[in-house]
Amino acid sequence: MGRGTTGGRRRVGMAVVRGASMTPALRPGQRLLVVYGAPVRAGKVVVARFADGTLAVKRAAERRAGGWWLLSDNAAAGVDSRHRGVVPDDDVAGVVRARLWPWPRLL
């Protein structure tokens, strides 16, 4: 069975935005619907684990050898691949599908 799946179905969960690194698209405190194990595409917002164990909400910028280059929407307020390097595929936990709170909308 693949990572993030149970019986062929993907798991869903919630993430909370912390910090201002994804403003203006996402703001601190917003709740996000995450599909774990979903395929990643450039431009999508993802939940990923950096090498130091930090979980982060970032935008998948491009596929590179060994993983994904992840960026903050607000470069002045966040740590991303410019500071930590490529994030391996297995450390990109899920793809954000929607903002649940406040003001629900698909992403």
Give the pLDDT confidence score for residue 2 in this predicted structure: 44
Q: 5-106: CATH homologous superfamily?
A: Umud Fragment, subunit A (2.10.109.10)
Q: How far apart are CA 103 and CA 62, in angstroms?
A: 29
Is the bond preceding 39 in cis, omega lying within 30 degrees of 0?
Answer: no
What is the residue-averaged pLDDT of the chain? 92
pTM for the structure as a whole: 0.88
Which spans in the chain are helix H? 81-84
- pLDDT, one tens digit per residue, over 12-46 is 999 999 999 999 999 999 999 999 999 999 999 99
